[in-house]
Structure 1
Amino acid sequence: MATIEDVAKLAGLSRTTVSRVINDQPYVTDEKKQRILHAMDELGYVPNSSARRLRSQRTETIAVLLPRITNPFFGNLIESMEQKASKAGYQVIVCQTHDSKKKELDYLQLLKTKQVDGIIMTSLVNDWELIHPYLENGPIVLCNEYMENNPVPMIHMDHRRAAYEAVQHLIEQGCKHLAFVHGGQEGHLTLERKRGFEQALLDHGLSSSEDQVIQGPMDVGDGRHLFTYIKKEMPHIDGVFTGSDEVAAGIIYEAAHSDWKIPEDLSVVGFDNQMLSLLMVPSITTIEQPVKKLADKTVEVLLKQLLHPDPVRGKSHVFDHKLVVRGSTRKEELIIH
């Protein structure tokens, strides 16, 4: 069986230089790299698939940037992406940004240093002007995120429309004083939901103010604290649209330990249709996203970008959502398509 010394001898170079090529490290001229690759092929030292990766400078790895993996929506999204990518011979690495601008830019360095072939961003916290230069190093695709002017391919649902339908449903149930709750920073996606919230209020003759927008809550614990806050500081609120089933679950859990009833005193709409939404009492009215379709299309688009790079503005792929009506807004449970 051939060894690294055999490759070095046949190529007429040092063992260190051969090691640098094998590990895809810098400071090796193209001429020396080709001599080493030729020797490796001749001796059968490296499997053909690995040799092809070295020649093409491909890692056959893509990175997915997301806020937090503990959110079931992102967990399900990653699982579907990994399955789709694996069938195409690609690996997926998960990068949690925790909505940190610095972490987001640090992970984008993976593209610049050729450690991944492409990047999928499921959230966006930096201004696009800071991200755009990284396109020189490889493709970037947005999933579950939205930006105007389509700077890169975007795969998402219409979050503005989804928010509008959720709020309209609350109004139809008799709610007149509504609040919109979102976690993290107010990025493009959150802004779209906020616009849908405000437009629904406007179209139904209800007032809208910044006091009705609550930023920060992200999980069940936050939802519990939010209910306590609403009961004490905003008791007039009779309907809440949240960007998370987890937050909605926290509200419902805490309400069960008070003298407020759901939905009689407070109606609640969540987002994502997680399994948790079915386990609560009452179960949660929520917006269902087509997770698998979003994941499959995103990976498909990214792989196409790798084969045929397109520096021109991206194309937007918009998928339908579903408003799933349950007990947190209405006693009789049904599904609205």
Structure 2
Amino acid sequence: MATIEDVAKLAGLSRTTVSRVINDQPYVTEEKKKRIIHAMKDLGYVPNSSARRLRSQRTETIAVLLPRVTNPFFGHLIESLEKEASKSGYQVIVCQTHDKKQKEIDYLQLLKTKQVDGIVMASLTNDWEDVEPYLTSGPIVLCNEYMPINGVSMIHIDHRQAAYESTVHLIHQGCKHLAYASGGHKTYLASERKAGFLVALAEYDLPFEMGMEIDWALDVSDGQKVFQFLKENHPHVDGIFTGSDEVAAGIIYAASQSNWTIPNDLAVIGFDNQMLSLLMVPAVTTVEQPIEEMAAKTVEVLVRKMSDKRSCQNSCFIYPYQLIIRDSTKRHSVSSSAQL
């Protein structure tokens, strides 16, 4: 196995010069760099990255905290973050919290123990005052999740406005008895979505009927249970904002098994524009987030902070979303003149 001494000998340079090139240090001419790189290729020499990271006191690793990777939104986000991070020489580790406060704190300890250089939080389970102290150990950036605080950079869409626009769309389709389904996690993002939903109802003088909020729906299976619950307890429901394409798909499937017509009996809106939303029959009306753009900005901000904490101001980047209207809400019997 080739050593750094072998590289130095073949290049006709000192071991110190070779070490400078390997560790990307200054004061080495381009001509010498080329000789060293050529010698490394000829010998098949691979630098010890662990030792290099130890010397620089950097891990070249980013941790991404999220609830569950099986959610296609987070899977897409992880893929996008990893691609962007690799461009800057960083690797990504995925930390699933399963919405458990202690697991989230345990992963934040990776920053305190210098096992990662920075953290992306795509979800937030603890109160911010329990997370904030970890900022003294390294940079943290919020992506997707957000809250009205200072001292941290956030990248997200306007979830309140997205929920409001989605709900108004249901109302314009003639829906008057609207249900609201969420995962029940008491985060700022979740509260913003619900606020947007309620603002739309109030604007059109529609009540939020007791029992029409479901706060335990996370996936397709839960979506099926949501439909059964509404069918048995609120059969007059005619529209639902789910905040999840998976839940929307489950509702649509269960409704079809009960001979309910989507959207005329029940109009359904999802969230995130997952592939599942397009494959369902009928296809699901949904809100699309610009995941690639958000991931690119997240990595850009985090890398800047990891390189020089003093040079990077904390900022909030709000990206545009798109309400994609498909057949799960298109009530062909509702004319524009009949809209509220």
TM-score range, shorter-chain basis? 0.7 to 0.9
**Structure 2 counterpart of 1:124:** 124
**Structure 1 counterpart of 2:142:** 142
1:328 paired to 2:328: yes
Q: 1:253 to 1:310 in 2, by over 3 A?
A: farther
Q: CA deviation at 1:188?
A: 1.0
Secondary structure of residue in 1 paired with 2:155: strand
5+ unaligned residues in a row in structure 2: which ranges?
Answer: 4-44, 333-340
Query: 2: distance between equivalents of 1:112 and 1:204?
Result: 50
**Structure 2 counterpart of 1:151:** 151
1:1-80 counterparts in 2 under 5 A?
47=47, 50-80=50-80
Q: CA deviation at 1:235?
A: 1.2
**Structure 1 counterpart of 2:281:** 281
Query: 2: distance between equivalents of 1:170 and 1:324?
Result: 13
**Structure 1 counterpart of 2:197:** 197
**Structure 1 counterpart of 2:270:** 270
Asked if the contact 1:64/1:120 (under 8 Å) is kept, the reply is: yes
Q: Deviations over 1:2-25 (max 9, x none)?
A: 99xxxxxxxxxxxxxxxxxxxxxx
**Structure 2 counterpart of 1:244:** 244
Secondary structure of residue in 2 paired with 1:271: coil
Secondary structure of residue in 1 paired with 2:75: helix
Q: CA deviation at 1:210?
A: 5.7
Secondary structure of residue in 1 paired with 2:318: strand
Asked if the contact 1:150/1:313 (under 8 Å) is kept, the reply is: no
Query: 2: distance between equivalents of 1:304 and 1:160?
Result: 29
- Aligned letter for 1:258? S
State the superposition RMSD in angstroms.
1.9
1:210-221 counterparts in 2 under 5 A?
211-221=211-221
Query: 1: distance between equivalents of 2:186 and 2:212?
Result: 15
- Aligned letter for 2:162? A
Q: Deviations over 1:234-281 (max 9, x none)?
A: 112111001110000000001111131110111000000001011111
**Structure 2 counterpart of 1:90:** 90
Query: 1: distance between equivalents of 2:316 and 2:159?
Result: 13
Query: 2: distance between equivalents of 1:80 and 1:161?
Result: 25
Asked if the contact 1:99/1:184 (under 8 Å) is kept, the reply is: no
Asked if the contact 2:277/2:283 (under 8 Å) is kept, the reply is: yes
1:300 paired to 2:300: yes
Q: State how many pairs are aligned.
A: 291
Secondary structure of residue in 2 paired with 1:256: helix
Query: 2: distance between equivalents of 1:249 and 1:48?
Result: 49
Secondary structure of residue in 1 paired with 2:125: coil
- Aligned letter for 1:288? E
Q: 1:184 to 1:208 in 2, by over 3 A?
A: closer
1:317 paired to 2:312: no
What's the TM-score once normalised by structure 1's chain length?
0.82
**Structure 2 counterpart of 1:8:** none
Which deviates more, 137-146 or 198-207?
198-207
Query: 1: distance between equivalents of 2:146 and 2:210?
Result: 22
Secondary structure of residue in 2 paired with 1:251: helix
Identity %: 63
Q: 1:277 to 1:72 in 2, by over 3 A?
A: same
Q: CA deviation at 1:56?
A: 2.6
5+ unaligned residues in a row in structure 1: which ranges?
Answer: 4-44, 333-337
Query: 1: distance between equivalents of 2:309 and 2:214?
Result: 41
Query: 1: distance between equivalents of 2:230 and 2:331?
Result: 22
Q: CA deviation at 1:150?
A: 3.3
Q: CA deviation at 1:170?
A: 0.2
Q: 1:209 to 1:150 in 2, by over 3 A?
A: farther
Secondary structure of residue in 1 paired with 2:214: strand
Q: Deviations over 1:19-64 (max 9, x none)?
A: xxxxxxxxxxxxxxxxxxxxxxxxxx99375554223310000000
Asked if the contact 2:120/2:142 (under 8 Å) is kept, the reply is: yes
Q: 1:114 to 1:326 in 2, by over 3 A?
A: same
Asked if the contact 1:150/1:316 (under 8 Å) is kept, the reply is: no
Secondary structure of residue in 1 paired with 2:92: strand
Secondary structure of residue in 1 paired with 2:270: strand
